[in-house]
Structure 1
Amino acid sequence: MVQIDVKEIVDCVVICNLYTPGRVVKILLNRQDYELLMQDGFFIRDSKEKDSADVLNTTKEYK
């Protein structure tokens, strides 16, 4: 299982957590690339509000 959660957007950098079995890795995305991935449907929410887990956006789980 692999999933990415967007934790924060600061200027032109998107700060994310990449989840794999047994590990969480912080990754950074260029904001322009992130917005393109949102348009492509890779991220599934609109990034306007954080949810109860303090996440702005997420991907589906990939196996």
Structure 2
Amino acid sequence: MTEDESPALDPWLLEKLVCPLTRTPLRYDREAGELVSDAAGVAYPIRDGVPIMLIEEARQL
């Protein structure tokens, strides 16, 4: 996926979101289109610009 295909995530939104498992900040991986929780070792997908913050949707790193 190129940078042109993955829309930028609103910095304000990223600042407010935390991992539902650990309540720690998330890291935005633009190339993969995911929000990464380094503390939990999972990545949450972003679909059509909307972060999917469901534990069952997260992929293990």
Q: Shorter-normalised TM-score: what interval?
A: 0.3 to 0.5
TM-score (ref. length: structure 1): 0.34
Greater share of strand: 1
TM-score (ref. length: structure 2): 0.35
